[in-house]
A and B are shown apart, each in its own frame.
Chain A
Amino acid sequence: GAGVSQSPRYKVAKRGQDVALRCDPISGHVSLFWYQQALGQGPEFLTYFQNEAQLDKSGLPSDRFFAERPEGSVSTLKIQRTQQEDSAVYLCASSTRGNTEAFFGQGTRLTVV
């Protein structure tokens, strides 16, 4: 595709519900990143993939957060038993390799009520 695509664009979840956020990176991009952005803050790193390998998940805030990229392209960020503090914009980015410019999707705005 022309850019990084994220879906859904908006998600409202009831507290305790599980959610799955999808990221379609630019075709051929090896590196994929997930970030969480709270209102008025910069993106906070969650996890990083190189192809299908999850090389760094140090930013995941709890074991309720899980990410996968099984075939080295599309990635899914899953949040189990959502809490109000999970409300944020979740951004996905991809790059040809880790130390070059990252291309971001528009993000998924998650609101937990």
Chain B
Amino acid sequence: SQKIEQNSEALNIQEGKTATLTCNYTNYSPAYLQWYRQDPGRGPVFLLLIRENEKEKRKERLKVTFDTTLKQSLFHITASQPADSATYLCAPSGGSYIPTFGRGTSLIVHP
């Protein structure tokens, strides 16, 4: 069955450092991979979408990579700030185009 893995342990980093979050998937080949941010008590908010033919995508301090051979996406936040503290969800989507979410990784940026 399809499986999406994100680090279940919280990632703690110091302000100003680069945060790197990992999303691994198995048993399917998504055409797209989306990343969302979720704050407590709120719905997820879309951040970036990367297609299978794109190796890397950037938006301001965010960078996403998509390695279809490794079946992995990496999500980077450079120059991290305490306001970046949240849970980050990856959502591969395949031919059906229905985003299927991982459990998310909690990021805590310390001042």
Contacts and interface: CB of A to CB of B under 8 A. Distances in A.
Interface of A: 4, 31, 33, 35, 40-45, 48, 56, 91, 93, 97-107
Contacts of B97: 31, 97-99
Contacts of A33: 98-99
Given A98-B96, A101-B34, A42 B103 contact: yes
Given A101-B46, A104-B44, A43 B89 contact: yes
Nearest to A47: B98
Contacts of A4: 43
19 contacts: A33-B98, A33-B99, A40-B103, A41-B103, A41-B104, A42-B6, A42-B89, A45-B100, A48-B96, A97-B97, A98-B97, A99-B32, A100-B49, A102-B46, A104-B43, A104-B44, A105-B43, A106-B42, A106-B43
Given A42-B6, A99-B31, A104-B45, 13 more contacts: A33-B99, A42-B101, A43-B89, A43-B101, A45-B99, A45-B101, A56-B96, A93-B43, A99-B32, A99-B97, A102-B34, A102-B44, A106-B42
A101 B101 contact: no
B6 to A, nearest CB: 8
Contacts of B101: 35, 42-45
Contacts of B41: 106
Contacts of B96: 48, 56, 98
Interface of B: 4, 6, 31-32, 34, 41-46, 49, 89, 93, 96-104
B4 to A, nearest CB: 8
A48 B44 CA distance: 17
Contacts of B6: 42
A31 B41 CA distance: 24
A102 B99 CA distance: 8
Contacts of A98: 93, 96-98
B98 A45 contact: yes
